[in-house]
C-alpha cells in the first residue's frame, strides 16, 4: 500500500495513518508518487511528489524567435542588477547588524553550556530555529526576486556562469622562504566576503530563475562574466582601474556609468551575440536548462 492523504491524515508505509497539518490540497487529477520525511529545527515535514500525465510538458521558445534578452549581474550591495537599469536590494538576512548580534549571543550561550546537558540541547535548538528562520526568509525573498526577473517582457535571460565554490575557497598559504613563518595572505579580509556571498545564495537564486523561466517558455543563457564590469562599453578598453567601487570611468575614453549596470548590459550583449551567432552551442545549454515538467511537482507540509 502506497502513500495516501485523507483530510488531515496521511498514510505512510510502515508507519500507518498519522495526523499532519494539510497546508496545501492536492489538485484534482494528480496522483501521489512518493513521499519524503525530514526533520527540521521546529518539527517534522513531509514532501509529497505528485504527477498528472495528462498535462503536456512546457515548450520553450525556439531560438529563432528570441528577439530580446535581459542581462543579470549578481552582486552583494544589490542582489541583482538588470540591464534595464532596475536594481533589486539585498536584505542580507544573516549578515545584517541585528542578525549577526543575535547569532553571536545564541552561539555564546551554546558554548557556555555543559556538553551533553539538556540546557545545551535547548540552546542549540534555539540557535537552529533562528538559522531556519533566516533560511525561510531568504527562500521566500528569492522566489519573489526570481518572479520579478522572469516576468519581464523578454524572450531570454542571460545569467552569469559563476564558479561559486571556487570563489569561496580559502586563499593560498604564503610562507617566508627564509624563516618558514606564515605570511599574510588576505584570508581574514576574504572571510567577510565569503559570508556575504553565502548569505546572498546566488546558486539557489539561479536555480529558481531557471525553474520559473522554463515554466514560462523562456530561454536561460549562461554567460562567461570575465571582465564584464571592467570592460568599457564605449571603446572596449579592459582595465582593472576602470572600476572604482560602483563607479565606472574608462581610463582611455572617459566613458562613465554605474559599474554593475554596465556589467549587466555587457552580459545582455554577450547573450544576444550567442543567440545570433553560436546557436548550435546555445541549443545544448538551453536544452539542459529546461528540465522542468508540469506533470510532476513537489508539495511540502
10-residue mean pLDDT series, the chain (301 residues): 85 89 86 89 89 81 83 94 94 94 96 95 94 95 96 93 89 88 86 92 94 91 90 89 89 90 93 73 40 58 61
For the chain, domain boundaries: 1-54, 58-89+135-291
Which are the catalytic amino acids? 73, 160, 260
User: Inter-axis angle of helices 97-112 and 118-150, to 10 degrees?
Assistant: 160
Residue 295 is predicted with a pLDDT of 58
| The model's pTM | 0.84
User: Inter-axis angle of helices 187-200 and 202-215, to 10 degrees?
Assistant: 30
Residue 300 is predicted with a pLDDT of 60
Q: How far is CA 240 from CA 11, 212, 250, in A?
A: 61, 35, 10
Give the span between the Cα atoms of 61 and 131, in whole angstroms. Answer: 39
Give the span between the Cα atoms of 183 and 166, in whole angstroms. Answer: 22
Give the span between the Cα atoms of 14 and 83, in whole angstroms. Answer: 54
Q: Kindly indicate whether the domain formed by 58-89+135-291 is annotated with CATH number 3.30.450.
A: no
What does the CA dihedral 224, 225, 227, 230 come to, rounded to 10 degrees? 150
Amino acid at each position: 500500500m502506497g502513500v495516501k492523504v485523507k483530510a488531515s491524515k496521511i498514510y505512510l508505509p510502515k508507519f500507518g495513518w498519522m495526523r499532519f497539518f494539510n497546508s496545501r490540497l492536492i489538485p484534482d487529477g494528480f496522483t501521489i508518487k512518493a513521499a519524503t520525511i525530514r526533520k527540521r529545527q521546529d518539527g517534522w515535514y513531509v514532501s509529497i511528489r505528485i504527477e498528472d500525465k495528462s498535462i503536456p510538458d512546457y515548450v520553450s521558445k525556439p531560438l529563432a524567435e528570441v528577439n530580446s534578452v535581459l542581462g543579470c549581474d549578481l552582486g552583494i550591495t544589490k542582489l541583482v542588477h538588470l540591464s534595464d537599469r532596475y536594481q533589486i536590494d539585498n536584505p542580507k538576512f544573516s549578515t545584517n547588524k541585528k542578525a549577526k548580534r543575535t547569532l553571536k549571543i545564541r552561539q555564546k550561550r551554546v558554548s557556555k553550556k555543559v556538553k551533553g546537558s539538556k540546557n545545551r540541547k535547548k540552546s542549540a535548538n534555539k540557535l537552529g530555529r533562528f538559522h531556519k528562520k533566516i533560511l525561510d526568509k531568504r527562500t521566500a525573498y528569492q522566489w519573489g526576486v526570481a518572479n520579478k526577473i522572469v516576468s519581464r517582457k523578454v524572450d531570454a535571460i542571460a545569467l552569469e556562469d559563476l564558479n561559486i565554490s571556487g570563489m569561496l575557497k580559502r586563499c593560498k598559504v604564503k610562507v617566508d622562504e627564509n624563516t618558514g613563518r606564515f605570511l599574510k595572505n588576505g584570508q581574514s579580509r576574504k572571510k567577510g566576503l565569503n559570508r556575504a556571498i553565502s548569505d546572498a545564495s546566488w546558486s539557489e537564486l539561479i536555480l529558481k530563475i531557471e525553474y520559473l523561466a522554463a515554466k514560462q517558455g523562456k530561454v536561460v543563457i549562461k554567460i562567461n562574466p570575465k571582465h564584464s564590469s571592467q570592460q568599457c562599453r564605449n571603446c572596449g578598453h579592459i582595465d582593472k582601474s576602470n572600476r572604482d567601487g560602483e563607479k565606472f570611468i574608462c581610463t582611455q575614453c572617459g566613458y562613465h556609468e554605474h559599474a554593475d549596470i554596465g556589467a549587466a548590459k555587457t552580459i545582455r550583449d554577450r547573450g544576444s551575440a550567442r543567440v545570433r551567432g553560436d546557436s548550435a552551442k546555445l541549443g545544448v545549454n538551453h536544452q539542459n536548462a529546461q528540465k522542468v515538467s508540469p506533470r510532476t511537482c513537489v508539495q511540502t507540509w
